[in-house]
Amino acid sequence: MSFEHPLYLCMLLLAPLDLALALRREAKRRPSLLALLPPLRRKDLMRRRLVVTRLSAIAGALFIIAASISLAGPAWGTRSELVQREGLEIAIVLDVSRSMLAEDMTPAAPGASASRLAAALSFARLALTSAPGATFSLVAVKGEGVLLVPMSDDLDALNSGLDWAGPGLMTKSGTDIGSGIETALGSFSPLADRGKVILLLSDGGDLAGNARAAALDARQQGARLFIVGFGGAVPAAIPLGDGTFVEDSRGGRVLVPQNLRELKDLALASGGPYVDASDSSALSVLSQEIAKEGKGGYRLEERSRNRGALFAKLALLALILKFGSSFFLNGRRAASRFEGQAGGRPA
């Protein structure tokens, strides 16, 4: 059993106190009542009164117990419930590995960089304005995933984070997309009624090999993985910024294509879409898909069964029993007084 508001359980301490006070009051009234009751029926009436007063005292204590538990929000068991999403959270996972420096993309403007990373940064900035009302987090991934900006609706902070994103941000080499996905999952808030999207911007050059497992984990946690692929099918060299290129052990240039197979496999595992960044309709397609995950959407969730209503009914029954006992006592007391007065009249 779990409780939504456990602080109300402190009221349970009032139950034994109320019971003790009720029994003490009755004990003090006993001598006065004995003097008022007719001698012939005194023993029988006092026995009945003792039963009723104890029942009333117990009912009062039970009312406090049941009401306290009801207010605490008890829950046990689960049920499937169709709930409406009330918002959208998007975790942007940006691949900043060296392979993203390959210049095989169409530049956003004349004279601009044609690198995959530059295109991914431009896409991320557009994504920030394509989902009104959504909150975003930013994760940079290279040899590991690093949370640059926690979940926020501050677009200035997110754009500043994008300004810092690049291969030099992290010293660990390689590409671990799986770590980036897991870091993104950790950036989501615990609000169960929000749609959750991970937007992965990458060329698919995963070297760690655990991206698929992370994608499946995201799916189990209710987060959809949307993937945007950067780079062409033709392998491209990776510039170092000083006129040279990344070379292999033999002195030849390292040529890297977009790992289309890897990215599509991740999309299939997560149940989300894959789009190519070179497609002019990529952002429009993703915006439509993301909109489905936001406000107005529905999903089936397992929720704990709240049993507060059950204890509320028990509290009501206890209250009825307590007032019924009091009414019975008052009625018996009036009758006893009438009998006493009648018995005391001269014949």
Give the integer Cα–Cα distance in Å for 73 and 218.
30
Closest CA to 223 of 78, 79, 89: 89
Amino acid 344: pLDDT: 47
CB contact at 8 A, 151 and 136? yes
Which residues in the chain come in under a pLDDT of 50? 296, 334, 338, 340-347
Amino acid 347: pLDDT: 39
- In three-state secondary structure terms, 224 is strand
Amino acid 82: pLDDT: 58
Amino acid 345: pLDDT: 47
Amino acid 158: pLDDT: 93
Amino acid 317: pLDDT: 92
pLDDT one-digit tens code per residue, 184-220: 999 998 765 668 899 999 988 776 678 889 999 988 8
* Residue ranges of domains in the chain: 2-78+306-344, 86-296
- In three-state secondary structure terms, 131 is coil
Give the integer Cα–Cα distance in Å for 28 and 73.
38
Query: What distance lies between CA 169 and its chain's CA centroid?
Result: 31
**How high does pLDDT run on average in the chain?**
81
Other Cβ atoms less than 10 A from the Cβ of 166: the count is 16
Amino acid 192: pLDDT: 54
Residue 163's Cβ-count burial label (10 Å; 0-12, 13-18, 19+) is exposed
Amino acid 161: pLDDT: 92
CB contact at 8 A, 87 and 195? yes
- 86-296: CATH, from 3.40.50.410, 3.40.190.10, 3.20.20.70, 3.30.1050.10: 3.40.50.410
What's the CA dihedral at 97, 101, 106, 108 to 10 degrees? 80
**Helix residue spans in the chain (DSSP H):** 14-36, 42-72, 116-128, 155-164, 177-187, 211-220, 260-270, 282-293, 308-344
CB contact at 8 A, 178 and 147? no
Query: What distance lies between CA 256 and its chain's CA centroid?
Result: 40
To 5 degrees, how large is the angle CA 289–CA 230–CA 160? Answer: 80
Q: What is the pTM of this model?
A: 0.59
User: What is the residue whose two structure tokens read 């291969």?
Assistant: 167
